[in-house]
Amino acid sequence: MPFCTTCGSYFDGRGSHCALHNPYLQTHYADTSSPINISYRTGTGGRYATPIRRKAKLYDDYDGMLDTYNDRNAVARYSPRNSLASLPDPITSPSHLRPLATTFAHLTTHHAITSLTYSVSPTGTRSITATANPDREQCSTCRQWFPDRRRLELHQWEFPVGCEMHSVCLREEDIGWHAVSERHERCFVRGCGSIYRREGAWKRGVVEGHVRGRHGVYG
């Protein structure tokens, strides 16, 4: 088992040099022939036999299997725009947040939300948990709930006239329209001290005339 005296590598055959450092091979063979592809045959008589030259396999013989290594697009260049940070977050996408926004908008109309939790499981199941303020205020006329006293007072300021018979709160400019569009047996304007409000069973048109004349509001 000889070792090359130049590089110390083990090689098969005789001599003191490997194929890369054998001066005979470097002198008698062209540069296009790789010494690696040359192996020695051992014979009898203590002489070197004629080396066997093995032809290296050409590139075309691989049927293009190495094309991927020479393809300039085989390895994509790094770009910050290709990073994970640029990918859309499925949890914050509009399709996932739309139910949350709809639920929040609906609840805040009638409740004071103290906490709202939105979760998405790995399987895609979504759940919304909301905690509302139990101390709510209800309008005695339209029976609508408000999250706090301030919201109720704002509602009464915007709709100062209420009809208990039809459970509706009205703006001042809508009083006349409501008087002619609905049947009333008494005046429905809150705070009216006339007999038309204290007593009922008035004929049709009497209350309408009273609202138009006494309160001076026309639809």
Q: What is the C-alpha to C-alpha distance for residues 211 and 112, in angstroms, rounded to an integer?
A: 37
Residue 150 above 80 pLDDT?
Answer: yes
* Residue 79 within any structural domain of the chain: no
Q: Is 47 a domain residue?
A: yes
Note whether 156 and 189 are same-domain residues: yes
If one compares 143 and 12, the residue with the highest pLDDT of the two is 143
Q: Is residue 196 part of a domain?
A: yes
Average pLDDT over residues 112-126: 76
Over residues 66-91, the pLDDT tens digits come to: 555 555 555 555 455 544 445 455 55
- Does residue 159 surpass a pLDDT of 70? yes
- Which has more pLDDT, 92 or 98? 98
| Domain tally, the chain | 3
Report residue 1's pLDDT band, with 50, 70 and 90 as the boundaries.
low
Q: How far apart are CA 105 and CA 107, in angstroms?
A: 6
- Report the pLDDT value the prediction gives residue 84, as an integer from 0 to 100: 46
Q: Determine, yes or no, domain membership for 78.
A: no
pTM assigned to the model:
0.39
Q: Where are the alpha helices (DSSP H) in the chain?
A: 23-28, 67-70, 94-110, 149-158, 175-181, 195-198, 206-214
The answer to whether residue 185 scores a pLDDT higher than 80 is yes
- Report the chain's mean pLDDT, rounded to a whole number: 71
The DSSP bridge partners found for residue 117 are: 129
Determine the Cα–Cα distance for residues 107 and 129; give it in Å rounded to an integer: 11
Q: Does 151 share its domain with 208?
A: yes
| C-beta separation of 110 from 146 below 8 A | yes
State whether 124 and 146 are in the same domain: no
The answer to whether residues 173 and 208 belong to one domain is yes
In a domain, 161, yes or no: yes
Radius of gyration of the chain (CA): 49
> 89 in a domain, yes or no?
no
Domain that holds residue 61: 1-69
Q: Is residue 118 part of a domain?
A: yes
∠ at Cα 211 (160, 213), nearest 5°?
125
121 domain-assigned: yes
Higher pLDDT, 80 or 106: 106
> Does position 53 have pLDDT exceeding 70, yes or no?
no
